[in-house]
Amino acid sequence: MALIECRKLTRTYRRGQIEVTPIHNLDLDVEEGSFLALMGPSGSGKTTLLNLIAGIDRPTGGELVIDGHDIARFSRSQLARWRSEYVGYVFQLYNLVPTLTAYENVELPLLLHRLSRSQRHRKVALAMELVGIVDRAPHFPHQLSGGQEQRVAIARAIVADPRILVADEPTGDLDAPSAQAVLALLTRLNEELGKTIIMVTHDPKCAARAHTTLHLEKGRLVESEQHAKEAIHVVA
């Protein structure tokens, strides 16, 4: 069984009298430990699909089963609990809390878990060490470079040891050296820690770091490009 199974997955919105369907009857299997890149023009449904998998949004049709759980059937509280355990989210613009230090930003997700202060400290220290940002722990976001902020954001995303890491244009606001460093870090998290990573990007060079690139257009998968081991199955 695939870790993520989408069957006729659909998301429809209403904007006044207009009905918009960014994801339409999408079928997709993602195996655990894969690294998937999503590409496509603006409005193709990339971020919508990412948000559905992350449990931030809900489908209006079809099935979305993750690790055997149909998350579309969860209550709001069940979904929040599941999301805190299964998914880490990396945003393009980092979404760090400006009044908290790097350490405190990384610690935030752990406040949803029943952990002692010493347990939280061990997990934060490990996450910050993994991303190479330990020396910036007492600094506030405005004291960090863009690359450092994104490393803090990645540490925050992995601190609770989620199985799935979703990243929305994680290099989009970075210079080339910082972008390469972030991509190398994501590759390491996938290869060494076995994280399943789903990344939205507009850059083919970034997408090439993934095992597979899926191209979306008008909410449908139109092309699949394999870069390494086959870990994705587009259902016919």
Q: Which residues of the chain have pLDDT under 70?
A: 228-236
What's the pLDDT at 20? 92
Residues 157-170: tens digit of each pLDDT: 999 999 999 999 99
What distance in Å separates the CA atoms of residue 169 and residue 201, rounded to the nearest whole number?
5
Instruction: Kindly report the backbone phi and psi dihedral angles of residue 55, in degrees, each rounded to the nearest multiple of 5, phi listed first.
Output: 75, 15
HSE (side-chain half, CA atoms, 13 Å) at 125: 6
> Would you say 154 and 185 are in contact if contact means Cβ atoms under 8 Å apart?
yes
CA-based angle 55:59:64, to the nearest 5?
70
* 3-state SS, residue 71: helix
Give the domains, in start order, of the chain with CATH numbers. Answer: 4-233 (3.40.50.300)
> Would you say 211 and 35 are in contact if contact means Cβ atoms under 8 Å apart?
yes
What distance in Å separates the CA atoms of residue 18 and residue 8, rounded to the nearest whole number?
22
| Closest C-alpha to 57, from 123, 11, 117 | 11
| Closest C-alpha to 9, from 66, 69, 71, 62 | 62
DSSP track, 125-149: HHHHHHTT-GGGTT--GGGS-HHHH
What distance in Å separates the CA atoms of residue 65 and residue 63, rounded to the nearest whole number?
6
Partnered with residue 215 across adjacent β-strands are 39, 223
